[in-house]
Amino acid sequence: MFGLEALDLARIQFAFTISFHILFPAITIGLASYLAVLEGLWLKTNNDTYRDLYHFWSKIFAVNFGMGVVSGLVMAYQFGTNWSRFSDFAGAVTGPLLTYEVLTAFFLEAGFLGVMLFGWNKVGRGLHFFSTVMVAIGTLISTFWILASNSWMQTPQGFEIINGQVIPTDWLAVIFNPSFPYRLMHMATAAFVATAFFVGSSAAWHLLRGKDNPAIRTMLSMAMWMALIVAPIQAVIGDFHGLNTLEHQPAKIAAIEGHWENKGDEATPLILFGWPDMKEEKTKFAVEIPYLGSLILTHSLDKQVPALKEFPPEDRPNSTIVFWSFRIMVGLGLLMIFTGLWSLWLRKRDKLYTSRPFLYLALWMGPSGLIAILAGWFTTEIGRQPWVVYGLMRTADASSNHSFMQMSITLILFVVVYFALFGAGLGYMMRLVRKGPKIDEGKETNEGGPGQKRTPARPLSAADDEHADHDHTVTKEI
């Protein structure tokens, strides 16, 4: 059907499940650090705006964290069910790395998550803040190990092959492989940027509907400061990551650029837009800027970038896909930088919270970080093809021996269950966002907090206290 084979369906299934999964850890990483900052600011300033924001975003964090755990477990099982030959070949490397993630990050998160979510009025302020910080650190440690495993598949180091299996010989080389530092920084920063625009979008939504209070303004202000500072940093990290990829995975860069052949000693142009045709081996309708490809990718005006025709056809990634996925990522990144700069201009003119054109832009930029993460992930993973472990094992040799019918049925089931389950979860999370932070008007400024008498924070309740019936209904829906 559609010219697809069982291998293609296995790849689609993994791409589908990881596309769902990657969204949740990205927001979890960013929100965990955001919550730590909010609680720290509240403890330092006694400004209850930060406390109210903490309670609001902790509910969303709890729902998002739960969906991330569930989707991650499903994805991990696929290594054994659909990619058993890969597990047999590289399990001595990837297995321990994922185990380290569980023993360090997951246990750390699980150990302090309950205190963070349910211990607001049961433990002291210091211990509660410490728990929030530990959860935030746990999300970053998890990122460390996951990116170490995936980066090793991109640039494998520190091993030898014995009897057809990878055997680690240097764990430091395995973990800190050539692409790991750049990919770790790129992914962690992407999570912070994506969360900033998620938070900023929710604030813009409320401001556009006339809900203007200190909490909403603080949300937008903090989000735009993050966008202004971190989005340009992400672009710089991306440049270093590109140079590293050019060194270790030149075919991926050639595919990203849609660059088929070098002409004499001419510098490589940058193809802004076009349609790479894998069969005709050329990029149709190309709009080029002379020299710019060499300048960006080699930081010179005379060096050439490797071309796709320099690699055998069976070793070329699908340029049609990665060419456009990369441009989606970069285009959204430029929009993020523009949004941050515009926010600074409006902030200086005291119009940040009242400019409707800007608020509409901030609203629509809400999912931009997550879309950019997906586009970047597609670029990275499809650009690695046809290798599952770069230069060592082809994807075609890594899959389990399943039939087309088996893969078709499981793929359909995944699609149905994922859209039903995570669709409901995402819908509930957006209901929380639309509810907005609860402001305790009329109460004393410094009332409540860890260790003091106060209504317990209820991470999975979206309702106000005066709407008890609605609160009961929402709780049952969870």
Which stretch, 8-12, 72-76, 235-239, 434-438, has highest mean pLDDT? 235-239
Nearest residue to 194 (alpha-carbon basis) of 402, 423, 374? 374
pLDDT for the residue numbered 2: 59
In whole angstroms, give the CA distance from residue 78 to residue 72. Answer: 10
Q: Please compute the mean of the pLDDT values over residues 453-467 and round it to a whole number.
A: 43
> Which residues make Cβ contacts (< 8 Å) with residue 250, sequence separation at least 6?
305, 306
pLDDT for the residue numbered 16: 87
pTM for this predicted structure = 0.86
Q: What is the DSSP string of 228-295?
A: HHHHHHHHHHHHHHHHHHHHH-HHHHHHHHT-----TTPPPPEEEEEEEETTTTEEEEEEEETTHHHH
What is the per-residue pLDDT across 66-112, written as a single tens digit (0 to 9) for each? 888 888 877 777 877 888 899 889 989 998 998 898 888 888 888 89
Q: Please compute the mean of the pLDDT values over residues 217-240 and round it to a whole number.
A: 94
In whole angstroms, give the CA distance from residue 278 to residue 255. Answer: 10
Comparing 266 with 53, the larger pLDDT belongs to: 53
What is the per-residue pLDDT across 156-187, written as a single tens digit (0 to 9) for each? 999 999 998 999 999 999 999 999 999 999 99
Decide if pLDDT at 476 tops 80.
Answer: no
Indicate the pLDDT class of residue 221, thresholds 50, 70 and 90: very high
In whole angstroms, give the CA distance from residue 9 to residue 13. Answer: 6
Decide if pLDDT at 323 tops 80.
Answer: yes
In whole angstroms, give the CA distance from residue 166 to residue 180. Answer: 19
DSSP single-letter state for residue 438: P
Decide if pLDDT at 64 tops 90.
Answer: no
What is the per-residue pLDDT across 384-420, written as a single tens digit (0 to 9) for each? 999 999 999 999 898 888 888 888 888 898 889 888 8
- The SS3 of residue 394 is strand
pLDDT for the residue numbered 147: 93
Decide if pLDDT at 244 tops 70.
Answer: yes
Decide if pLDDT at 232 tops 90.
Answer: yes
What is the per-residue pLDDT across 424-456, written as a single tens digit (0 to 9) for each? 888 888 888 888 887 753 343 444 445 444 444
Indicate the pLDDT class of residue 475, thresholds 50, 70 and 90: very low
Please report which helix (H) or strand (E) contains residue 9, including its range. Answer: helix 6-45
pLDDT for the residue numbered 440: 59
Comparing 195 with 266, the larger pLDDT belongs to: 195
Nearest residue to 317 (alpha-carbon basis) of 286, 274, 276? 276
pLDDT for the residue numbered 19: 85
